[in-house]
Amino acid sequence: GSGSGEDEVKTYTVATEPNFHPFEFMDPETGEMKGFDMDLIHAIADEAGFNVEIETMEFDGVLGGMRSNKYPMAISGISITDERKKEIDFSDKYLDSGLILVVREDSDIQSIEDIDGLKVGAQAGSTGELYLHDHTDAEISAFPEIVTAYMDLASGRLDAVLYDLPNAQYYINENPDQGLKTVGELLQGEPYGIAFPKGSELVEPVNEALATLKENGTYDEIYKKWFGE
Ligand code: ARG
């Protein structure tokens, strides 16, 4: 190093919403953030040569923080959409996901066609909430934390919840006593990307690091750790 500070390792704040198993969640024992996204962003940072500091907030705030340039980066199971691309930059996709409808096991609802006029929950600012507005006449309730919506569904205050399949599947598997199930097809395929304020210079190094991790097996290791084979 020349001593000018140019070689110093930079630390970037990464915004995330911390209630999205198995992508980002707080370990109750240690208070540390864990999950697929957390492992991935740390691996990317190692590869690209910077440090990351995780900052948690509501999902609305994660997207708002990209639009207002408040944080340099966000990883939060964020779906890459054309609408968001107008205001936010994205990395290449790192996972394929999509939306699924969740109902009680004894429900008559069989698909999204059946929910008009019914009470349906979604996470505030999520693609699930937008989908309900754009494609249904459901009575929509938007929740800052999706777990509240799942609990309201289990207790009968909601008729359905629309959310990302991996998280819905995880919640159903981990909470069999809640008596929930998914119905119908994946409603819309959604690729996840790392988000940046428009024009960020971090997009390119992050994409390069992501490509390297996919080539050298690190991505596969992280995937297996959280999703099995
Ligand atoms: N994929 C959905 C979206 O981008 C939901 C993401 C929710 N993520 C979270 N960490 N709660 O709108």
pLDDT in tens, 182-219: 999 999 999 999 999 999 999 999 999 999 999 999 99
Spell out the alpha helix ranges (H) of the chain: 36-48, 59-67, 82-85, 127-135, 146-155, 165-174, 203-215, 218-227
How far, in Å, CA of 61 to CA of 41, rounded? Answer: 19
Instruction: Using the mean position of ligand 1's atoms as its centre, give its distance from the Cα of residue 5 in Å.
Output: 37
The answer to whether the CB of 25 is under 6 A from ligand 1 is no
Instruction: Using the mean position of ligand 1's atoms as its centre, give its distance from the Cα of residue 181 in Å.
Output: 20
The answer to whether the CB of 79 is under 6 A from ligand 1 is yes
How far, in Å, CA of 1 to CA of 8, rounded? Answer: 8
Q: Are strands 51-56 and 11-16 parallel, antiparallel or unpaired?
A: parallel
| Ligand 1 atom closest to Cα of residue 127 | 12
Q: Which of 158, 119, 160 is nearest to 138 (CA)?
A: 119
Instruction: Using the mean position of ligand 1's atoms as its centre, give its distance from the Cα of residue 77 in Å.
Output: 5
Instruction: Using the mean position of ligand 1's atoms as its centre, give its distance from the Cα of residue 78 in Å.
Output: 5
Q: What is the mean pLDDT of residues 27-47?
A: 96
pLDDT score at 33: 97
pLDDT band at residue 4 using 50, 70 and 90 as cut-offs? low
How far, in Å, CA of 227 to CA of 156, rounded? Answer: 30
Instruction: Using the mean position of ligand 1's atoms as its centre, give its distance from the Cα of residue 202 in Å.
Output: 21
pLDDT score at 162: 98
Res. 220: pLDDT tops 50: yes
pLDDT score at 94: 98
Instruction: Using the mean position of ligand 1's atoms as its centre, give its distance from the Cα of residue 52 in Å.
Output: 20
β-strand partners of 163: 100
pLDDT band at residue 229 using 50, 70 and 90 as cut-offs? confident
The answer to whether the CB of 136 is under 6 A from ligand 1 is no
The answer to whether the CB of 166 is under 6 A from ligand 1 is no
Q: What is the pLDDT of residues 115-165, one digit of tens each?
A: 999 999 999 999 999 999 999 999 999 999 999 999 999 999 999 999 999
The answer to whether the CB of 126 is under 6 A from ligand 1 is yes
Q: What is the pLDDT of residues 71-101, one digit of tens each?
A: 999 999 999 999 999 999 999 999 999 999 9
- Ligand 1 pocket, mutate which of 66, 164, 169 (most atoms under 8 A from CB): 164
pTM equals 0.95
47 vs 28, residue with greater confidence:
47
Residue for token pair 């069999």: 176
How far, in Å, CA of 218 to CA of 119, rounded? Answer: 42
pLDDT score at 1: 43
Atom 7 in ligand 1: which residue has the minimum CA distance?
Answer: 77
Q: Give the lowest-confidence range in 5-19, 29-43, 110-124, 133-147.
A: 5-19
pLDDT score at 6: 62
